Amino acid sequence: MNLFATKRSIDRYFGVSKLKSTFTKEILSGILVFFSMLYILPVNASIMNLNDQIPFGAVFGSTALVTFISCFLAGLFGKTPLSISTSMGLNAYLAYTVANMGYNAQEIMAIVLILGILFFIVSVTPIRMMIVNALPKTIKQTITSGLGLFIAFVGLKMGGVIVADSSTGVAFGSLKEGYVLLSLFGIFLVFMLSVCKIKFLKQFSIIIALVTTALFGGFLDLGGVANMPSFVPKGETDSVFQMFDYCFVGIKGIPSVLGKLPTYGIIISMLIVHLFGTTAPIFGVGEKLKIIDSETNKMVNHQKVFMSDGCATIFSGLFSTSPAGYFVESSVGIEFGGRTGISNIVTSLLFLLTLFIFPVFNIFSPVKIGNDYYTPVTSLSLVMIGGLMFSQLKDIDWKNMTCVFTSAITVLMIILTYSLTDGIGVGIILYVLMMLCAGKAKKVGVLVYILALVFLFNFIVSKVIL
């Protein structure tokens, strides 16, 4: 009787029956989402170790911990099946652009923490919706697509498929190198699986490709092939519990980063990207979860949902990993029938368990060749996710020259300058100038004008004066 009463109380709290779901569906959907998101652990650890400034195991542990806490809170208090983990895209930007600007690991975590605080403030106030609604659709889609191509480019670079060239800037990597061939094997495999007619292979293409590529590389290593991932860690073995040595280091780095002018452009760009990146999945499944009103297409009852990922980004900065946000992979569980926070709690507990089986994931760690690090196993994830994000350009109004040129220049500048900040800044300034010349000044929101001026000021100071 007590068990029945408890089940009924849980049902009433989460609204399982009200949303026409069942406990079985919720549990199974949580398991499905876990396996769909599992790739983020080795991938983020291989990116955010920042050329060994933070051990692979420590980043793995902090990623798993932030995912556990965030999903659990989003499920228990936000009552949403939308799962949260460290975002793809911003991790690559932090590791391969910000780190190359002279920021060390402590300062990078300070940037993530400041971003988290700002993101929390805009999330618990009407500002978040104001920003999302104020920026034109063209700019939103272009930023997402540009970020997609950027992380795909980073994936190819980290796999050794693309290398620097003094004559052309970039060139194809050497196919004499085993790790380059392994990277290409993984990239081609994940793309082939993503269009496979077998639903299971298609749905879990990234996980299957990661495991297959890792095993293939591991066996090649046993066979004596150089520069391959290894089943047995080479050198000192990482521990996930090293993450506690890096917790809260971002707090110490705040005074240092605030004294560097480029910090402000970095944070503004990341805030814009993070706003759209973590809000987009909500729009994608919001109607099914009763967050989006089907008649007005506007958000309702979204306060707790916004607060959940707002808190998650602060956790990311405190525990030293990349910014966390809602994952589009949550849609796998929602399509299966998950409708409440129970599925998210199940997902969170499974991520907690990964902390205790970490040694299995060592084979996904970066390979050090000379003074450089390569990720022949996990590069496929960056290329795949980048390709998916690039598809946003399909909704651009290709008959509108303002949209076409703004999109083209923004995407090109993000990739060729290797900077999200510079690409977004040039794109927004160009958009404003073209709208003014087209006699459509009134159609440009006040916020867009402000952003254009901020980026213009940033360019003058950082590229001209300094």
Residues 251-297 have pLDDT tens digits of 999 999 999 989 998 999 899 888 877 887 776 666 677 776 666 55
- What confidence score (pLDDT) does residue 258 get? 94
> Which are the contacts of 423, defined by CB distance < 8 A and separation ≥ 6?
146, 150, 410, 411, 412, 413, 414, 415, 417
Evaluate whether residue 5 is within a structural domain.
no
216 within some domain = yes
Are 385 and 458 members of one domain? no
Same domain? 446 vs 364 = no
Q: What are the tens digits of pLDDT across the range 82-120?
A: 999 998 779 989 998 899 899 999 999 999 999 999 999
In a domain, 354, yes or no: yes
What is d(CA 194, CA 391) in angstroms, rounded to the nearest whole number? Answer: 14
The answer to whether residues 289 and 315 belong to one domain is yes
Whether 6 is covered by a domain: the verdict is no
Task: Name the domain count of the chain.
Answer: 2
* pTM for the whole structure: 0.83
Q: Are residues 307 and 413 in the same domain?
A: no
User: What is the tens place of the pLDDT at every residue in 286-300?
Assistant: 667 777 666 655 666
Q: What is the mean pLDDT of residues 336-342?
A: 88
Same domain, 380 and 451: no
333 and 465 co-located in one domain: no
Same domain, 305 and 453: no
> Based on the domain organization, do 53 and 63 belong to the same domain?
yes
- Domain end among 352, 378, 395: 395
pLDDT at residue 1 is higher than 60: no
Strands 324-326 and 84-86: antiparallel
Flag whether 4 is in a domain: no
Closest CA to 282 of 291, 273, 294, 293: 291
What does the alpha-carbon distance between residue 385 and residue 88 come to, in Å, rounded to a whole number?
8
Q: Is 447 exposed, middle or buried (0-12, 13-18, 19+ CB in 10 A)?
A: middle
Is 1 within a domain?
Answer: no
- Angle (CA) 75-77-78 rounded to 5° is 65
Give per-residue pLDDT as tens, 65-78.
Answer: 999 999 999 999 98
> What are the tens digits of pLDDT across the range 170-211?
999 999 999 999 999 999 999 999 999 998 898 888 889 999
Residue 358's pLDDT is what? 85
Residue 73: predicted pLDDT? 94
**How confident is the prediction for the chain on average, in pLDDT?**
88
Kindly state whether residues 109 and 189 are assigned to the same domain.
yes
Q: Tell me what pLDDT residue 293 has.
A: 67
The DSSP output letter for 202 is: H
Same domain, 371 and 403: no
Q: Is residue 2 part of a domain?
A: no
Residue that is last in its domain, among 366, 395, 424? 395
Which 8-state DSSP code applies to residue 163?
E
Same domain, 39 and 170: yes
Last residue of some domain: 379, 395, 411? 395
Q: Across residues 367-386, what is the average pLDDT? A: 87
Q: Do residue 464 and residue 390 come from a single domain? A: no
Q: Where in the sequence is the domain holding 400, given as residue range(s)?
A: 396-466
In a domain, residue 10? The reply is no
Residues 48-60 have a mean pLDDT of 89
